[in-house]
Amino acid sequence: GMEKATMDLAAAPALARAMLDAAGEFSVRLAEQACDRFAIDWLWTGDDVGGQQNLIMSPRCWRDMVKPHLARIFAVGTSRGLWVAYHCCGSLRPIIPDLIEIGLDVLNPIQCNCPGMDPFELKKEYGSALSFMGGVDTQDLLPNGSADEVYRATLRLVEGMTADGGGYVLAASHAVPPETPIENIFAMYNAAGITQEEIFDRAAALRAR
């Protein structure tokens, strides 16, 4: 499982490297086929290397074992003039400069309850090089807050993250929990000027495809 695979990064590095090489090669080929066969606007990638408090491996290990493969995957998109988005839950602040270095354009989902992942701090430090997608708290605010609290928090987030003119895509900080009141979901979108009717219309259009 994941715990053993993570331990193998230190205990059996040759095995771990071989597995990552195989997974990386597969991911590069998959990205190439997706980009070449379909009319897409961005290349969506992802792997969760962040935990609730920090990375699940040292930054040094990540740079040695993982970063080279991500660089190859990102290059598939950048070489074709596509935006590159990367999904990684948890706290990953130490490697954000590395992600920018290898061509990242959009970071998701900005799990704001984790250390170092305050959306406004990230925007201030990296906003000139990176766009952000996410940041509406799914661990407490969305499932437990009132609709008014969700609306006000989302409005503050949208206004703060777009104060320089853009660079932000509204989204939750993780998968929305099933127990989340539907009113809170509507409130999140309403804060961005998206009405309940528009949500239903867009959902119907997607189902009709």
Q: Where is average pLDDT lowest: 147-151, 152-156, 198-202?
A: 198-202
Count structural domains, the chain. 1
Stretch 164-177: mean pLDDT, rounded?
Answer: 94
CATH number at residue 152: 3.20.20.210
pLDDT single digits (tens) 102-134 = 999 999 999 999 999 999 999 999 999 999 999
**pLDDT for the residue 30:** 97
**pLDDT for the residue 1:** 78
pLDDT single digits (tens) 47-76 = 899 999 999 999 999 999 999 999 999 999
**pLDDT for the residue 88:** 97
Q: What is the mean pLDDT of the chain?
A: 96
**pLDDT for the residue 81:** 97
**pLDDT for the residue 3:** 86
Q: State which residues form the domain around 173.
A: 2-207
**Predicted confidence band of residue 209 (pLDDT cuts 50, 70, 90):** confident
Q: pLDDT at residue 149 above 90?
A: yes
**pLDDT for the residue 70:** 98
CB 99 within 8 A of CB 71: no
pLDDT single digits (tens) 11-56 = 999 999 999 999 999 999 999 999 999 999 999 999 899 999 999 9
Per-residue CA distances from 1 to 5, 53, 69, 79, 100 (Å): 6, 21, 21, 34, 30
Beta bridge partners of 50: 55
Amino acid, single-letter form, for residue 147: A
53 exposure class (CB count in 10 Å sphere: 0-12, 13-18, 19+): exposed
6 exposure class (CB count in 10 Å sphere: 0-12, 13-18, 19+): middle
71 contact partners, CB below 8 Å, separation of at least 6: 102, 103
